Amino acid sequence: MSHTTEQKFMDLLKEQSAYGEAIGLMAWDMRTKAPRKGIEGRSEVIGVMSQKVHEIQTSEKMRHYIDELKGKTQDPMLKRAVEEAEETYNKTAKIPADEYRAYVTLQTKAESMWGEAKSNNDFESFRPYLEKLVEYNRKFADYWGYENHRYDALLNNYEPGVTVKVLDEVFPKVREALSSLLKQIKEAPNQPDPSVLKGRFPKECQAEFSEAILERMGYDFDAGRLDETVHPFAIGLNTNDVRVTTKYDEKDFRTAVFGTIHEGGHALYEQSIDPKLAFTPLADGTSMGIHESQSLFWENFIARSEGFWRNHYELFKNYAPEHFQHLSLEKFYPAVNEVKPSLIRIEADELTYCLHIMVRYELEKALIAGEIEVKDLPELWNQKMEDYLGITPESDSEGVLQDIHWSGGDFGYFPSYALGYMYAAQLNSKMREEIDVDRYIEEGDFHKIKEWLTENVHQYGKMKKPLQILNDITDEGLNPDHLIGYLTNKYKKIYQF
């Protein structure tokens, strides 16, 4: 092994990273600013660029450098980069290059078609694209291999170490606890009045308040921006360009405000990764679940807390319309934390949120296993929503078509939302043992909180695996009791039961 080999390996990773950044920028543009007629051509370009990344990841050069450096370097960062490159090589090399390019092109076209189908409440127009995406994912799972369940191969893309066996043990426990809480809340005598939040709230004012909160959280606007889109997301092009998007609803400010804070949590993670990891595969969140733990921590454990609004309510009223000026905090806080089963996942209250994830998990697990087909989805979706949340969508737009994930082929992704919530609860418990979280929230000083997260989670990027991050911080593996305890204590207080 020589220094030259190390440098050539890093140069190859930098080339791969450069293509990835270009693809990310095009994807951001397609979801925010691109004209509709440009979508098809842009999809082809992304397909070509993605094929180039595929070629780099599976090239003879990459295999050579991995073989030369594996087990021979003492540099921790280089060692992990080699491990990550080898994992990607072994996985990616199993997919023929022409299939990969066709799949990526299909993904981008499907995303565009999903947007139209959702707007037009037309599942049948989207169905052929989704059928092809499912077919590809079944095939890829078989290429990669699995021990017990085909879906495990896809889960591993987003949450290494988590399997169907783990989820099927943890999710029923959480579902039972949430269902019990939901029943008690429905029967509680003290019910918040959500009507106090109604009224037009101009999106320009929502944007100004959202930007003010992002700045207080520590989001660096010199290394990012806030834009409007159909389905909110955050995207890290590099640690100095991490962008946030949101969706405004002038009839309900909660969609944008909490959504922006959620995506801001994702962005803080990416902005705080150690710069030494730049231009390597390690300059990213270690898993979707850990990533989601950061967004849900800020959205729920911080921004939905009583202390947050005690500090920020006056700031909020600076941007809010007239009817909020005479609304007391005592009525406002319970109202923004109302528990009411909703049809739309991204608008769900924090208690019922995980139930939305379980609906999606069970459907896509069955899809990948071949137990159900795409044509069955609308009916099965509606039935599960009735079973778990007691409500039935009146249209596919507010049902099976509401999420963007399947249109991007992201099967195996949804469980990370619920896992992230559980991770966030564990991190919250540990953080409170070490710093005075409530005091910092009430003072509106998030510096120490962000610093704790950066020190324990953010800085490592992919240097640590997700369950290693969790274990190093909390001295235990996945434990849903923290989330169940948090939700029980919070809502017993609000609903007084």
Residues tagged active-site: 263
**Residue 477 structure tokens:** 């593996």
Unique residue bearing structure tokens 């308040």: 209
Within a 13 Å sphere around the CA of 205, how many CA atoms are in the beta-carbon half?
A: 17
Query: Is 292 annotated in some ligand binding site?
Result: yes
Spatial separation of the C-alpha atoms in residues 54 and 148, rounded to whole Å: 28
Q: Is 423 exposed, middle or buried (0-12, 13-18, 19+ CB in 10 A)?
A: buried
Spatial separation of the C-alpha atoms in residues 224 and 10, rounded to whole Å: 26
Pair type for strands 226-228 and 241-246: parallel
Helix (H) or strand (E) holding 412: none
Query: Is 323 annotated in some ligand binding site?
Result: no
**Residue 453 structure tokens:** 């997260």
> Which residues 6+ apart lie within 8 Å of 336 measured at CB?
197, 254, 304, 309
- 402 DSSP assignment: S
Bridge partners of 246, per DSSP, are: 228
Bridge partners of 241, per DSSP, are: 238
Query: Is 250 annotated in some ligand binding site?
Result: no
Whether residue 353 contacts residue 421, with contact meaning beta carbons closer than 8 Å, is answered with yes
Spatial separation of the C-alpha atoms in residues 458 and 437, rounded to whole Å: 18
Pair type for strands 241-246 and 234-238: antiparallel
Spatial separation of the C-alpha atoms in residues 115 and 310, rounded to whole Å: 39
234-238 β-sheet, strand order:
226-228, 241-246, 234-238
**Residue 230 structure tokens:** 């159909």
Distances, alpha carbon 198 to alpha carbons 129, 186, 261, 335, 339, in Å = 38, 21, 21, 10, 16
Q: What is the dihedral of CA 159, 165, 170, 173, to 10 degrees?
A: 160
Binding site for Zn(2+), by residue number, is: 262, 266, 292
Binding site, by residue number, is: 262, 266, 292
